Amino acid sequence: MKRFKALVLAGVLAMSLVFGACGSDAGTAGKPAGGNSNKVIKVGVVNNPPSESGYREANVKDMEAVFSKENGYELHTFYNIKNDEQLQAAQGFITEGVDYLLISAAETTGWDEVLKKAKEAGIKVYLFDRMIDVDESLYEAAVVSDMSKEGETAVNWLLAQNLSEYKVVHIQGAMGSDAQIGRTGALDAQFNSGKMKKVVQQTATWDEAEAKKIVESVINSGEDFNVIYAENDGMAKGAVAALDEAGITHGVNGKVIVMGFDCNKWALRELKAGAWNYDGQCSPFQAKIISDLIKGVTTASSKKIINEEKGFDAKELTDDDINTYGLGE
């Protein structure tokens, strides 16, 4: 019995070591500064962990692909969801003497001091994906998505379909998140103007299964609708599952128009198959833009660079698009 207890304890310890190790990737990845190399550009990336979402995973992969040895970079990374740890890592990168610091912060506050230190050390800072509450002078540029523009693009597409009437089931993401606020805004404007009718507006907090329940309840209530506007792909899939079970046609030539966001590869395939109508991109690909800025290929027109994002129509989607813009597998 005692031995068994010891064994279990050892197991727990081992597990905690594994967990501990996954948080400290950056520590081992970063080698000490190796003198002044003119050719290799040292880049420190502070980002959220890839496990956060499919978006983040694509984002991390993109960064690692662009800032590669082949492209003349030495990449140091740190992924953590906690602002404190991110701050410490950024501090570490400054001490190490990176040339550029790329940050997607967990929280918008607390970065003042670190960025000032970076500036003093002559390190140039780029923000990506997320803005930070600091003076503009502290960073070179911020490459971000404009979530409200994503919503506008989608709503404009929807208006271009010239339906005789718009009866929309609107499934929202987690209330208060940037993506939810941005993607809801444009549609709310249509609801308020009376151009579109809000059949239901409910949050499923990004949960696919919850989205299905919401749509089921609308179907059961007998209310008519012809558009499903889901604020991400997963919830769109949940909504479609409800339609399928109720025998309601959807997609190209279907009764109900299905719209999603994020451009997961599997979602684009649904689009290609005509089961959905529209998928809005939320591009995680900021690395190329930043790399071009660093290498002087392009110059920043303003401090805030909006990452161009597309919206895909099922009828115009190509296989190339899926491979280029699709996230995941």
Positions that interact with other proteins (CB under 8 A): 5, 8, 11-12, 19, 22, 50-54, 56-58, 172, 175, 200-203, 205-209, 212-214, 216-222, 233-234, 237-238, 241, 243-249, 264-266, 327-329
Complex with other proteins: residue 12 or 159, whichever CB lies closer: 12
Complex with other proteins: residue 8 or 297, whichever CB lies closer: 8
Least distance to other proteins, CB of residue 212, Å: 7
Least distance to other proteins, CB of residue 219, Å: 7
Complex with other proteins: residue 101 or 203, whichever CB lies closer: 203
What whole-number distance in Å separates Cα of residue 309 and Cα of residue 325?
A: 10
Complex with other proteins: residue 193 or 221, whichever CB lies closer: 221
Least distance to other proteins, CB of residue 96, Å: 27
Least distance to other proteins, CB of residue 244, Å: 4
Least distance to other proteins, CB of residue 172, Å: 6
**Are 287 and 45 in contact, with CB atoms under 8 Å apart?**
no
Least distance to other proteins, CB of residue 324, Å: 16
> By CB neighbour count within 10 A (0-12 exposed, 13-18 middle, 19+ buried), where does 109 fall?
exposed
What whole-number distance in Å separates Cα of residue 318 and Cα of residue 294?
A: 32
Complex with other proteins: residue 1 or 160, whichever CB lies closer: 1
**Are 67 and 75 in contact, with CB atoms under 8 Å apart?**
yes
What whole-number distance in Å separates Cα of residue 104 and Cα of residue 79?
A: 10
Candidates 289, 279, 266; CA nearest to 310 is 279
Give me the phi and psi of 210, to 5 degrees please: -65, -40
Candidates 42, 47, 191; CA nearest to 105 is 47
Complex with other proteins: residue 15 or 33, whichever CB lies closer: 15
- H-state helical runs in the chain: 2-23, 25-29, 54-66, 83-96, 112-120, 147-160, 178-193, 208-221, 233-246, 265-272, 287-294, 319-325
